Amino acid sequence: MRRIIPLLAFSLFVLGAVWHNGLAQPQPKQGRPPLGIEKVADDLFVIIGSGGNVGVLVTDEGVVLVDAKFEQDYEGIVAQVKSVTDKAVKYVINTHHHSDHSGGNTRFIEVAEIISHKNARANIVDKKQGGAPASLRPARITFTDETSVFLGGKEVRARYFGRGHTDGDVLVYFPAQRVVHTGDMMAGVTPLIDYPGGGSIVEWSKTIDAAMAALEFDKVIPGHGAVTNRAGLQTYRDNVVKLRTEIAALIRQGKTQEEVRAFLATQYPASYTNPNSLNNQWSLPGFMSELK
Ligand SMILES: [Zn+2]
């Protein structure tokens, strides 16, 4: 087993590095996987590959997107939308400010209206994400608690339930389809908490709990990773709370940041083995101060 575990840890790290590195800086154009599209409901799709998952609601009057990947994915996103409808993208709702979700704003702002939480806009304007492209454009329209887009007789509702991954995460709800796009409140095997961007692991579970109590949904589009269901989100939430309890116990025992990192690496090697991972740069120092 001793030989297998480091090998497994390294393999998971390589897999995890794909989107973790993508958050910090735009990915190079060479070697990027092509985008794909999957059906979530009759009129709702998800574009996968490169950056965050993009929700695509098709209506007779146009398309509403949730998130827009990186700037360089613009053509790829448009091509994937064209594969399911001849209607144009009219609105893009950003789940938060990170450039693997909002990077495409730079191109979509020429053809569509972009909407985000006011904190997500401020985080782009204030350049809260180190390494984000200077060209990144914030939304023109912002909201504080809730807003909806009504297009072609359909509704897309964006709601803010509080801090978590950042201080500007919204969950985007498709009421007729009973689907929610969580942004990076759910992403990968365990959430990245962007403390420099206003995130909090203590607030994260309160925010998820409020969202799950308020929204009636069956399917979940996470910020990164495969489409899941309500039970999948509940398990993910319970795992975060369990991990937080364990980390807090270690910190209160006087363990050092490196000792806490080593523990986290045994639980989530893809996120915490590499000392330079975003989880180690952003989440871990925040845990040490927030959970003591
Ligand atoms: Zn993010």
pLDDT digits 0-9 by tens, 216-238: 999 999 999 999 999 999 999 99
- Tokens representing 195 are 């403390």
How far apart are the CA of 135 and the centre of ligand 1, in A? 18
Please work out, in degrees rounded to the nearest 5, the angle formed at the alpha carbon of residue 283 by the alpha carbons of 96 and 142. Answer: 15
How far apart are the CA of 111 and the centre of ligand 1, in A? 24
Number of domains in the chain: 1
How far apart are the CA of 199 and the centre of ligand 1, in A? 10
How far apart are the CA of 53 and the centre of ligand 1, in A? 11
How far apart are the CA of 41 and the centre of ligand 1, in A? 25
Could you tell me the CATH number of the domain that includes residue 80? 3.60.15.10
pLDDT at 30: 57
pLDDT at 34: 86
pLDDT band at 33 (very low <50, low <70, confident <90, very high): confident
Res. 166: pLDDT tops 50:
yes
* pTM given for the model: 0.90
How far apart are the CA of 165 and the centre of ligand 1, in A? 7
Q: What share of the chain in percent tops pLDDT 90?
A: 88
Res. 202: pLDDT tops 80:
yes
Helix count and strand count (H, E) for the chain: 11, 13
CA-based Rg of the chain, rounded to a whole angstrom?
18
How far apart are the CA of 166 and the centre of ligand 1, in A? 8
Residue-number span of the structural domain to which 167 is assigned: 4-290
Q: In what order do the strands lie in the sheet with 44-48?
A: 36-41, 44-48, 54-59, 62-66, 89-93, 113-117, 141-143
